[in-house]
Amino acid sequence: TLFRSDSGGSMQSSYSENPDKSVVNKMQQKYWKTKQTIIQVTGKKEDEYVVSSDADLDAKLELFHSIQRTGMELLKVIEQYQRRICFLSQEENELGKFLRSQGSKDKTKAGDRK
């Protein structure tokens, strides 16, 4: 999670999912991790607002990833269902052709078309 201090001294999220800024995001992530490591090594107390905001973002990200996984699984099931429906339709068509050809060859009253 990435944060920056605004002019009032409070922390704001600067997290961005824009793929065009991936290099900038990576640098910000490395900066943030380094800063947190230095805070922990020096024994300074972490900013409670940053920790709280981190937890909120982590919960939202976890929910997003869960929804994304569920959506992908649903898409796979729908694709499998569609393939099976297509296969069933082809089989039904072949059965119809077979019955039609057998009906035209059948000389009994059951195969008689009038």
CA 84-89-92 angle, 5° bins: 125
Query: Tell me, what's the pLDDT at 114?
Result: 55
Confidence of residue 23 (pLDDT cuts 50, 70, 90): confident
Query: Tell me, what's the pLDDT at 70?
Result: 96
* Residue 6 CB-half CA count within 13 A: 6
Query: Tell me, what's the pLDDT at 5?
Result: 45
When mean pLDDT is compared across 63-72, 79-88, 98-107, the lowest value belongs to 98-107
86 or 11: which carries more pLDDT confidence?
A: 86
106 or 75: which carries more pLDDT confidence?
A: 75
Taking the CB of residue 3, how many other CB atoms lie within 10 A of it? 20
Residue 32 contacts residue 54 (beta carbons within 8 Å):
no
Does pLDDT of 98 surpass 90?
A: yes
User: Mean pLDDT in the chain?
Assistant: 76
What's the whole-model pTM score? 0.45
> For tokens 């195969």, what's the residue?
111
